[in-house]
A and B are shown apart, each in its own frame.
Chain A
């Protein structure tokens, strides 16, 4: 089974190469992308199902070099569930982009770059080596630089530049931290680092924990490092916004969870700082969202706010807390991607995502309204949706650790999330447009949009509902992931065990 671990990285790269070679024929590119991403989803599921037989962790050593000499590729329960979720999102958004036309139709580079993005996402999740994590992030980011500016409108390039500059600064900082880590410990294999960092003085350990938190905090959009996010995501093409908003920030969260838990001893983890950051991220994100008058910008601020909940769960560093953080993360990937996909549908149908310029869409496109309402209610945390389970488990873990103040903030933020979702609902779906849009609204037919766009959005909405139905087994899965993650020995022993 260990052979399969590298496939999620290598397969999209081969597909990207083929996609470049057939760049004259768009349908061939589409077929390659769909087949590859579909196969990746299947492989990810196979890997996760195999985890039970492999003791919860599957390790491959690239090139046959044993750790810590070579690059270890590791799938445990945390990366497994992230792999499955991201593969499903990548496939869903790809189908959506084909229906959307736009950059997918006009740009020959869309499919290859999208596949490289997929390879980067998978590599970030699978790698067990900190430098390789940097390389994976770069692969993902370079692809995202192309995607975010694709199409070349003035607004898009302007806000894309913000994104590129911020990401470059973060990457530079990342390399510097890596160099310092290597200088002080002599290794960059994460399993090996876990043992060696513990031998450093406490202050140095804390410095590394904070530096890594800052690096990934920029990618994840933590307070106070989030200001680039609501500015750059909404300007990109609708499918690009959907996959970035849904997936990329959560890869940053994954990296925070992985490094903070695996690399550092419980007494040097910056737990109380993380709690404060989590509360501020939640609150500032939602206040930002309330002030906005554009669907995409409201949703972008909510990305930030939601990240706060995940960090809150992590900051407790208990099994309940980390389990809740993992559950929240993958559930939020699905919800956020779906919501941004529906906002793309609204934009297409109403000609704009400004709240004042659209309205009455519940009569013209009732299906889009339904596709928006279900994930929106789930995001706000209304029972019985998956978002309720996620939020409740975070609150429960917070109460269990007696962090009353942060729990109170989280509950209040939840109410305000509901308020801003209502704002979108009443602005877009009810009433009449106050200022008619300058763009002629397109008639999307009975469905409210092209079949592929609506179908892929509906499929992801159903996936979000499936989380609700199978909440119990999924939560048990994330609990085991959290137990193994906090134990650390499972991961370290599996990676450093000599290969037979």
Chain B
């Protein structure tokens, strides 16, 4: 993949600042516009910039965790936050908050809705990373032919109809992924 210096440099500057913005949305969300979902989407936009700059490998190196780990952790945090009040004898999703003064930093209000929002944030972020891994990989757009070529260097045959073509491609990709998983010997069908 050809990389552009301009895009690379600006993405490097933007990536972290957008992540900080997404964290702001996450924490502001309780009483102001924002929240876990919006924060997660903004963080996802930062990931999308990395994809624009360097493809799916760049997305994988953006965060130290695998996409499904993020997704699982997020769902776990959110669902446990919903379940804890049941264990304490309250209704599901019930919440509590404390207000304290942190000296010069001012008053803060910590609510139990925050862990739930953090969970949502992680789920959205994990999902976006997963989408880039699923759709941004293993398929190369061959500019000279102007078609999705199933195999690098192989000339694609003309599809009988557009509908048939897409399904064939899906099926072939799924089949190839299955074969490569088997080849790598990982039973779970995941990347080693």
Q: Would you give the shortest CB distance from A20 to chain B, in whole angstroms?
A: 3
Tell me if A14 is interfacial: C-beta within 8 Å of chain B. yes
Given the contacts A14-B79, A154-B167, A63 and B95 also touching, CB distance less than 8 Å:
yes
Q: Residues 175-188 of chain B: 1 if any A CB is under 8 Å from the residue's CB, otherwise 0?
A: 10010010000011
Q: Would you give the shortest CB distance from B36 to chain A, in whole angstroms?
A: 15
Tell me if B86 is interfacial: C-beta within 8 Å of chain A. yes
* A157 and B91 contacting across the interface, CB-CB below 8 Å: no
**A interface, by DSSP: helix, strand, loop or mixed?**
helix
Tell me if A474 is interfacial: C-beta within 8 Å of chain B. no
* A10 and B86 contacting across the interface, CB-CB below 8 Å: yes
Look across to chain A and name the residue whose beta carbon is closest to the beta carbon of B182: A106
Interface members, chain B 29-88 (any A CB < 8 Å): 68-69, 71-76, 78-80, 82-83, 86
* A73 and B171 contacting across the interface, CB-CB below 8 Å: no
Given the contacts A3-B91, A63-B91, A63-B94, A24 and B190 also touching, CB distance less than 8 Å:
yes
How far, in angstroms, from A23 to B82 measured CA to CA in the complex? 23
Tell me if B19 is interfacial: C-beta within 8 Å of chain A. no
Determine which of A5, A16, A107, A152 lies in contact with B171 in the assembled complex, contact meaning CB atoms within 8 Å: A152
Look across to chain B and name the residue whose beta carbon is closest to the beta carbon of A21: B72
* B82 and A10 contacting across the interface, CB-CB below 8 Å: yes
Q: Residues 1-36 of chain A: 1 if any B CB is under 8 Å from the residue's CB, otherwise 0?
A: 011111101110110111111011010000000000
Given the contacts A20-B71, A23-B68, A63-B93, A157 and B83 also touching, CB distance less than 8 Å:
no
Q: Would you give the shortest CB distance from A232 to chain B, in whole angstroms?
A: 14
Tell me if A153 is interfacial: C-beta within 8 Å of chain B. yes
Determine which of B74, B82, B189 lies in contact with A108 in the assembled complex, contact meaning CB atoms within 8 Å: B189
Q: Interface range on chain B: under 10, 10 to 19, 20 to 34, or 35 or more?
A: 20 to 34
* B75 and A17 contacting across the interface, CB-CB below 8 Å: yes
Given the contacts A154-B167, A154-B171, A10 and B73 also touching, CB distance less than 8 Å:
no
Interface members, chain A 147-180 (any B CB < 8 Å): 151-154, 157-158
Q: Would you give the shortest CB distance from A105 to chain B, in whole angstroms?
A: 7
Chain B residues near A431 (CB-CB < 8 A): none
Q: Residues 125-160 of chain A: 1 if any B CB is under 8 Å from the residue's CB, otherwise 0?
A: 000000000000000000000000001111001100
Interface members, chain B 112-146 (any A CB < 8 Å): none
* B76 and A10 contacting across the interface, CB-CB below 8 Å: no
How far, in angstroms, from A403 to B82 measured CA to CA in the complex? 49
Q: Would you give the shortest CB distance from B183 to chain A, in whole angstroms?
A: 13
How far, in angstroms, from A17 to B168 measured CA to CA in the complex? 33
Q: Residues 86-125 of chain A: 1 if any B CB is under 8 Å from the residue's CB, otherwise 0?
A: 0000000000000000000111100010000000000000
Determine which of B76, B86, B167 lies in contact with A6 in the assembled complex, contact meaning CB atoms within 8 Å: B86
Tell me if A190 is interfacial: C-beta within 8 Å of chain B. no
Determine which of B73, B167, B171 lies in contact with A17 in the assembled complex, contact meaning CB atoms within 8 Å: B73
* A21 and B76 contacting across the interface, CB-CB below 8 Å: yes
How far, in angstroms, from A2 to B91 measured CA to CA in the complex? 8
**B interface, by DSSP: helix, strand, loop or mixed?**
helix
Determine which of B80, B90, B189 lies in contact with A106 in the assembled complex, contact meaning CB atoms within 8 Å: B189
* A152 and B73 contacting across the interface, CB-CB below 8 Å: no
Chain B residues near A9 (CB-CB < 8 A): 92
* B187 and A26 contacting across the interface, CB-CB below 8 Å: yes
Q: Residues 305-347 of chain A: 1 if any B CB is under 8 Å from the residue's CB, otherwise 0?
A: 0000000000000000000000000000000000000000000
Tell me if A62 is interfacial: C-beta within 8 Å of chain B. yes
Tell me if B153 is interfacial: C-beta within 8 Å of chain A. no
* B73 and A21 contacting across the interface, CB-CB below 8 Å: yes
Interface residues of A (CB under 8 A from B): 2-7, 9-11, 13-14, 16-21, 23-24, 26, 60-64, 73, 105-108, 112, 151-154, 157-158
Known: A6-B83, A154-B171. 20 other contacts (CB 8 A): A3-B89, A3-B90, A5-B92, A10-B92, A11-B83, A13-B82, A14-B80, A14-B83, A17-B79, A18-B76, A21-B76, A23-B190, A26-B188, A60-B92, A61-B91, A152-B171, A154-B167, A154-B170, A157-B170, A157-B171
Interface residues of B (CB under 8 A from A): 68-69, 71-76, 78-80, 82-83, 86, 89-95, 167-168, 170-171, 174-175, 178, 181, 187-190
8 A-B pairs (CB sep. < 8 Å): A3-B90, A6-B82, A6-B92, A9-B92, A14-B75, A23-B68, A62-B93, A152-B170
Give the top 7 A-B pairs by smallest Cβ distance, nearest first.
A152-B174, A20-B72, A6-B92, A17-B76, A17-B75, A21-B72, A108-B188
